[in-house]
Each structure stands twice: as structure tokens, then as C-alpha cells.
């Protein structure tokens, strides 16, 4: 069933063109699908309404008989560079609420597939891009591509929203602390601090690391095949988030500690509230808290100033 998405003028969206899905046919990776996100004409993939609609269309009509799915990116510079901040800053409150809710439902489709999934991270993965990746079972990354025989520049990984005086809106507050040391994850989300590839690797964020960009999709496929023979249990929530029994105690302790160590701001308070909502009231409540605060925070002077400065820098680079 398709989910209704908002558009800038409130009209129903048109039929979205699915992304290409290649199904491996040979060897141990036979039956693994590779869904490649692309945005022709753009230097990097950015989450916006048309991309989310295309993702929904693709996940609704995946080929039959898949043993697993790799979520990859056609951009050589980034997996997904984040959400479209023009949408975040310009849409009215009702539109933005509905847009965020729609994106959550589409991302959640990854966690309902009856086989393992892995995000193949080849470059910058920030904000909504990391949230999308963390809806997969596994995160498989590649080291930065070499250039002229020299090691590539480490790419950024993380949830930088608080650096713009806003907060995540697609579950990041509850997803990142389930994949690395929870205190560090909560503190970084509350301050908008990101990691380099090397730091993320050292933090244990990635479930596997490929030997290089050329091996990334195959590495993700191998990670999936190691799990495809086991039954995948789905319950309507992401495979790894803080409400799982294995996380509850450590995240609760970390939240109490980081709250006491952090200088409170509007955005850090929003992050802490969303984490607490996930621990005490569940996944749906955490998403509702995130959406409420993101819509609210973007109107405050700090966010308006930070977003304006971001757009000015982006315009200067273009």
C-alpha cells in the first residue's frame, strides 16, 4: 500500500519512477539485490521528497525471490549527504510534520523486508542519510577512495543537526546509540558533532569494512549472505535501536550521565527528550518527539541564523 506524501502545494504526488535494482545471479551472492540511489544532475544524493517517493516505489515492487538487499549510492562523493534543508526551513508546520512522518514510514519499510539488508556506505553519510542507512540491518563501509596513489580524505559520518540548532527527525536519536558506545553517541547527537570515517570505524559503527570502494557492494553482499540462512525477525521497528533489551540499561545510564555533563540548549534538550521517549514509551513516541522539536526549533532565532548561514555558504560554493 502506498503512503500519501505531502508536496509543497498539498497536491497528491505523481507516480514515482523506481530506482534500478540489480539482482546478482552468480556465485555466493546470487539472489542479492542491489538498490542504487541516484539523483541525476546533482553532485551528491540528498534526501528530498522525490527521492523518498522513488525509494517507496522501489521497495513496494522489489523483485521476487531476493535473499537480501544492499542499499547503495551512485554518488562517488557521498552515500547520502543529508536531508534537503530548504524543505526543512521553508515548508509550513503541517507540511513538514507530514513529510517527516512519510519519510519515517518509507524508511521503516527497510526494516520490514523478510531478508537481511545492508547499507553500502561509500562516502559522506550525514543526518537523514545516516538515519536511512541505520534502518538497514548492517552498515558496511568503504575506506575513502585513493587519489593519485595517495590515501583519500576521510569522509564525515554523523548527525550534525544540532550544529544548525535543530535536531534529527527520522529516528537518529534512537538509532545511533544502539550501534556504538551510547554515551558518546548521545553526546555527539546533542552537540551536532560528526566523526571521520576512521573515527566511526574505531567506534565500531560499521559492521564490516571493505578493502576499497571497488569491493564495497560485494562486501555488503557477503555480510548479508552470512545472515540470509537465518530467519529474520521483524516487529515493525528498526532492527537496531535503543528500545531493544540489549540496549535499554546501557543507554539509560548513558543518558543520565551525558545530561549531567552537557550544557543544555534547546537542541540538546530535544535530543535528550527523544532518547528518553524511546526508552520509556517506544519507537513511535520517539519519532513523534523528534518531529515536534524539529518543526519547533527551526523557527527559533538560533536555527534561523544557522540555516541562513548554511545556505549562504552553499551558494558561495556553487
Give the Cα separation of 238 and 136 in Å (integer). Answer: 8
Residue 134: domain span: 21-317
User: Within 13 Å of residue 267, how many CA atoms lie on the same side as its CB?
Assistant: 28
More confident residue, 229 or 35: 35
Assess if residue 11 is contained within a domain.
Answer: no
Mean pLDDT across 101-127: 97
According to the model, what pLDDT value does residue 9 have? 44
Assess if residue 128 is contained within a domain.
Answer: yes
- The model carries a pTM of 0.94
List pLDDT tens digits, range 128-163. 999 999 999 999 999 998 777 777 789 999 999 999
According to the model, what pLDDT value does residue 272 have? 98
Kindly report the number of other CB atoms within 10 A of residue 47's CB atom: 24
Assess if residue 306 is contained within a domain.
Answer: yes
Whether residue 304 is predicted with pLDDT greater than 50 in this model: the reply is yes
Assess if residue 218 is contained within a domain.
Answer: yes
Number of domains observed in the structure of the chain: 1
User: Within 13 Å of residue 121, how many CA atoms lie on the same side as its CB?
Assistant: 31
Residue 3's nearest CA partner among 85, 107, 128 is 107
* CA distances, 22 to each of 68, 123, 301 (Å): 12, 21, 46
Assess if residue 76 is contained within a domain.
Answer: yes
Assess if residue 10 is contained within a domain.
Answer: no
Mean pLDDT across 177-185: 98
According to the model, what pLDDT value does residue 316 have? 63
> What are the residues whose beta carbons fall under 8 Å from the beta carbon of 253, sequence distance 6 or more?
none
Whether residue 283 is predicted with pLDDT greater than 60 in this model: the reply is yes
Range in 9-18, 44-53, 307-316 the model is least confident about: 9-18
Q: ∠ CA(96), CA(99), CA(104), 5° rounding? A: 125
Show the DSSP H helices in 117-215 as ranges.
Answer: 128-134, 172-175, 182-191, 197-202
Average pLDDT, the chain: 93
What's the CATH number where 308 sits? Answer: 3.90.226.10
Amino acid at each position: 500500500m502506498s503512503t500519501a506524501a505531502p508536496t509543497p502545494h498539498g497536491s497528491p504526488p505523481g507516480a514515482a519512477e523506481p530506482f534500478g535494482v540489480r539482482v546478482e545471479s552468480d556465485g555466493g551472492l546470487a539472489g542479492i539485490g542491489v538498490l542504487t540511489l541516484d539523483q541525476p544532475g546533482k553532485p551528491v544524493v540528498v534526501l528530498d521528497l522525490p527521492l523518498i517517493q522513488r525509494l517507496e516505489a522501489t521497495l513496494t515492487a522489489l523483485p521476487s525471490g531476493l535473499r537480501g538487499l544492499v542499499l547503495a549510492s551512485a554518488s562517488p562523493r557521498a552515500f547520502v549527504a543529508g536531508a534537503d534543508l530548504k524543505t526543512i526551513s521553508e515548508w509550513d508546520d503541517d507540511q513538514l510534520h507530514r513529510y517527516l512522518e512519510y519519510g519515517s514510514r518509507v524508511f521503516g519499510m527497510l526494516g520490514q523486508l523478510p531478508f537481511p539488508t545492508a547499507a553500502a556506505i561509500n562516502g559522506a553519510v550525514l543526518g537523514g542519510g545516516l538515519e536511512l542507512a541505520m534502518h538497514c540491518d548492517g552498515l558496511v563501509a568503504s575506506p575513502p577512495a585513493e587519489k593519485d596513489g595517495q590515501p583519500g580524505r576521510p569522509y564525515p559520518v554523523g548527525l550534525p543537526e544540532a550544529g544548525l540548532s535543530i535536531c534529527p527527525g527520522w529516528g537518529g536519536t534512537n538509532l545511533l546509540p544502539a550501534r556504538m558506545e551510547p554515551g558518546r553517541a548521545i553526546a555527539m547527537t546533542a552537540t551536532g558533532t560528526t566523526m571521520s570515517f576512521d573515527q566511526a570505524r574505531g567506534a565500531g559503527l560499521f559492521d564490516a569494512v571493505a578493502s576499497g570502494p571497488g569491493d564495497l557492494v560485494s562486501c555488503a553482499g557477503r555480510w548479508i549472505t552470512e545472515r540470509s540462512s537465518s530467519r529474520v525477525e521483524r516487529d515493525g521497528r528498526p532492527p537496531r535501536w535503543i528500545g531493544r533489551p540489549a540496549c535499554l540499561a546501557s543507554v539509560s545510564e548513558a543518558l543520565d550521565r551525558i545530561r549531567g555533563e552537557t550544557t543544555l540548549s534547546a537542541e540538546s534538550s530535544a535530543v535528550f527528550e527523544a532518547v528518553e521517549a524511546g526508552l520509556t514509551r517506544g519507537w513511535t513516541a520517539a519519532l513523534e518527539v523528534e518531529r515536534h522539536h524539529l518543526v519547533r526549533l527551526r523557527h527559533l532565532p538560533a536555527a534561523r541564523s544557522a540555516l541562513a548561514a548554511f545556505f549562504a555558504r552553499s551558494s558561495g560554493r556553487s
